[in-house]
Amino acid sequence: MKILIINGPNLARLDLRDADIYGGFSYPELSDLVTKAAEKLGILVDIRQSDSESEIIQWLHEAADSKQPLIINPAAFTHYSYAIRDAVSMLKAPAIEVHLSNPLSREEFRHTSVVSGVVNGTIAGFGVQSYILALHAMQNLLN
Ligand code: DQA
């Protein structure tokens, strides 16, 4: 079973975002690093990105139907999308929320995650390592 990794809005343009916050690497580099780390762990991943709330919800419905484990960086949707929260809460397999930055050390509007309450756990603030730590955590949850 592949672990579904969903990245939310604006993450495909990581290289254009504040390098002090996001590390200055591009989305293809992020995707590559995560895929290679997964390979080393013997985990299959399906990494996707969308700027569309509706597309992300559709992917979450499919993951719920197929009982697929999820790692999600909902990006800005983290802070206000009750629709994504409700879709994540339908999942039957473990789900982990990740963030490159530490939203709690940033603007106040980022201090709320409407998703955190319906996932197994959240890993934030370690750049691309957040995803790799999430892969390790997922492996433990699945074993
Ligand atoms: C983010 C943090 C969010 O607040 C922000 O809107 C993002 C990226 C992160 O990975 O640090 O787009 O999810």
Q: The domain that contains 95 carries what CATH number?
A: 3.40.50.9100
Which residue segment(s) compose the domain that 93 sits in? 2-142
pLDDT at 1 over 90: no
Average pLDDT over residues 87-106: 98
Cα-to-centroid distance, 97 and ligand 1 (Å): 11
DSSP state of 115: S
Would you say residue 23 has pLDDT above 90? no
Question: Does pLDDT of 3 surpass 90?
Answer: yes
Q: Give the total number of structural domains in the chain.
A: 1
Residue 104 scores a pLDDT above 90: yes
Amino acid at 70: L
By CB neighbour count within 10 A (0-12 exposed, 13-18 middle, 19+ buried), where does 5 fall?
buried
d(CA 126, CA 103): 11
Query: Across the chain, what does the average pLDDT equal?
Result: 97
pLDDT-derived band at 128, boundaries 50, 70, 90: very high
Is-catalytic flag, 22? yes
Q: Closest by alpha carbon to 87, among 67, 112, 60, 68?
A: 60
Q: Which atom of ligand 1 is nearest to the CA of 8?
A: 12
Whether 108 shows a pLDDT value over 90: the answer reads yes
Distance of CA 135 to the CA centre of its chain: 11
